[in-house]
Amino acid sequence: MAIWFDENYTYRQPVTVNFSTVSGESTQDVTLTIPPDWDLFWDTIRSDFKDVVLTDENGNVVDFRRKNANYSNQDLILEVNDLDVAENNCMQQMFLFYGYANESTDRSTSFVASTPKNAFIHLGAPLNRIVEGYGIVPTANQPVQTFVKSTDEAIDIYFSIQGLLASRTTEANGRLLFEEIVFVTVESLDSSGTNAVERYDLQETRFLQGYIRVRTKAGSNNTNYSLALKVNTTTLQIYDIRCLIKVKDLLPS
């Protein structure tokens, strides 16, 4: 079950690991570049980076090292050794904990990464095209919420996960964390239930606080598709959250 890594740490940031092209591998090295324009992070951490720690979805520290580490230049690249791959062709979640001024332990290790896969921190916030109300029974045989795009557009849909994950009845390490997301997959289904990878960009999926971003693209004019986000959690629950994508090239009459 998920837990806050250390009650002394102030912040936890979701990290998206791109395993969209990984198949048949049990572990994979990972590389993460910390955004240099992330003021909260750089204004909070220690200059020696001891209070910057990577964990898996459950809050367990992973084997990581600092490849590049220059506080003055706001340059930090972290690498992970042999991260467990939860599923073939998925986008997996891990966490970055930071913000403990009195940290004395340096948890970084030494290894040589082999063809690491990219991981990302998404600092954007959803503005519109938000899918909410998971569990509401639709009045028709289609998803509750609908978004319209043209055939040439590639747009981001934000799936809300607020209220989706279970919490503890009592605190552990000062938090009520209990259930977290392990990985997600995406599908774009036509009226026959056939998926087409050409209608979404899996590697552009991102975890952020309270939401998951999914990018949809392409499609045929005057055709509806169900954009499906499948969420797999640490308690082995699987949520299938969907919205309707209407592809329509609007022209003057």
Instruction: For the chain, list residues with pLDDT below 50.
Output: none
Predicted local distance difference test score (pLDDT) of residue 250:
86
Place of tokens 């329509």: 248
Residue 137 to residues 68, 118, 145, 158, Cα–Cα distance (Å): 50, 38, 12, 20
List pLDDT tens digits, range 121-157.
999 999 899 998 776 555 555 677 999 999 999 999 9
Place of tokens 């997301």: 181
Predicted local distance difference test score (pLDDT) of residue 143:
73
Domain boundaries, the chain: 11-120, 130-247
Predicted local distance difference test score (pLDDT) of residue 16:
98
Predicted local distance difference test score (pLDDT) of residue 49:
98
Q: Indicate the CATH number of 130-247 among 3.30.70, 2.60.290, 2.60.40, 2.30.30.
A: 2.60.40
Predicted local distance difference test score (pLDDT) of residue 137:
58
Predicted local distance difference test score (pLDDT) of residue 209:
94
Residue 139 to residues 109, 136, 144, 244, Cα–Cα distance (Å): 55, 9, 8, 14
Predicted local distance difference test score (pLDDT) of residue 25:
87
Predicted local distance difference test score (pLDDT) of residue 133:
74
Q: Is the dihedral of CA 232, 99, 9, 49 positive or negative?
A: positive
CA-wise closest residue to 229 among 180, 199, 165, 186: 186
